[in-house]
Amino acid sequence: MRESWRWFGPGDPVSLEEIRQTGATDIVSALHDIPIGEAWPLEQILAHKTRIEARNTIHSPLYWTVVESIPVHEDIKLAAPGHERYIENWILTVKRLGEAGIKTICYNFMPVIDWTRTDLKHEMPNGAIALRFDQDRFAAFDLFILERDRAEKDYSAEERDRARAAFENMCADDVAQLTETIIAGLPGKMTEAYTIDDFRQALARYDGMTHAALRANLMAFLGKVLPHADRAGVKLAIHPDDPPWDMFGLPRIICTPRDLNLLFGKLPNPSNGMTLCVGTYGSRPDNDLPQMAIDFAERIHFAHLRGVSRDKDEQRSFVEANHLDSDIDMIGVIRNLLSNETELDREIFIRPDHGHLMMADLENAKSNPGYSGIGRMKGLAEVRGVIRALSVEEQ
């Protein structure tokens, strides 16, 4: 497996020199300063690649091999008039990345919002800080802060009661923090930051959008992109919707094995692949991650290895747990990914994902939520230990 590390560029609190010390060999990055919908200039791609790889003759080498992500413009997801120009820009970016030797692209097709949490500073029993999604607090935001039209139809009477209780326990600062956490954007975001009015307007554009219509828009987008990815030697690896269920009345279409079978059945092109984000798919108890690692072996080009622990009473609420201590059989996932590599004679890019904020990083005000250095290094070390043990076991 190729051990990779997400890096947000020169402003990332975790430097390239520190990443080298973790033992990672590959960098997952993007040009986050390019406005969504614009093509990435080849000169900027090459400059970023040079920045990452410049000291490879002096220190342990790092290579920019995975892009996460090229944002997909909302007009593409909506198939809005004029969206074709954004597809052309996306294709041009794919071609340029292939020319630069960057051959794996993680992307997503989540409407309006990217990955969503309700708490970026949930304290774990050992004092470390984790990311958390609380369904009751999310519903409280949707029903009583955002006050989305027809939102009550998406919740049972019991769920509305729990949401009201959660809302009534919030002070003004809690409301402001929850609002910012959900809609104001996160490091490496693939959507713009919103005000609450902007957010309402963005949601309104999707009124009447169905799962079938959004899926058709994804298929149409990929139908145009994939032939160019083929010629460029680039593999596309779609990331699941996070959390993997409908939110804010928006359809979400990459959540389960059924969704993936629909995608790959319709577009069997070998460049059409997936990111096995273990924590995201594992947020649903009906997703069997070790089995998915087998069933989609040829389609998995990238893997995010993290786990979640779901609440017993509300399975849609979860906390991002230690990489090996969660509701997910991470060892089974890794064992099956290693088998895939052997059978298909290739290597899969993996990275630790959403490490806990811990130790000295607790005092680092600049740490990006989920992307602190020490927590991810701990996760990578744990995963590396499993890989080494299983590899020896197979010999």
Catalytic hit among 86, 194, 206, 371: 371
Indicate if 277 belongs to the active site. yes
Which residues are registered as beta bridge partners of 66?
Answer: 28, 104
Among residues 75, 242, 353, 361, which one is catalytic? Answer: 353
Beta strands in 278-348 (DSSP E): 300-305, 308-310, 318-320
Q: CA torsion 200→206→208→209, rounded to 10°?
A: -150
Please answer whether residues 107 and 69 qualify as being in contact, where contact means their C-beta atoms are separated by less than 8 angstroms.
Answer: yes
Strand (E) or helix (H) holding 129: strand 129-133
Give the C-alpha separation, 15 to 375, whole Å: 15
User: From the candidates 73, 354, 356, 361, which is the catalytic residue?
Assistant: 354
Token pair listed for 184: 């104001």
Determine which one of 75, 277, 281, 361 is catalytic: 277
> Residue 185: which of 32, 67, 323 has the closest Cα?
32
Catalytic residue among 304, 329, 356, 361: 304
Pairing of strands 300-305, 26-29: unpaired
The dihedral region occupied by 372, where left means phi > 0, alpha psi between -120 and 50, and beta the remainder, is beta
Verify whether residue 371 is a known catalytic residue.
Answer: yes
Identify the active-site residue in 83, 122, 239, 356: 239
The CA-atom distances, in angstroms, between 160 and each of 133, 135, 148, 164, 252 are: 17, 11, 13, 6, 22
The encoded tokens of residue 332 equal 């089974």
**Block residue for tokens 């995608």:** 263
Q: How far apart are CA 100 and CA 227, in angstroms?
A: 18
C-alpha closest to that of 255 among 225, 226, 297, 286:
286
Q: Say how many CA atoms lie within 13 Å of 293 toward its Cβ.
A: 26
> Locate tokens 């009015």: which residue?
197
309 beta partners: 319
| Cα separation values, 394 from 11, 63, 332, 335, 389, Å | 41, 28, 14, 10, 9
- Give me the active site residues, please: 239, 277, 304, 353-354, 371
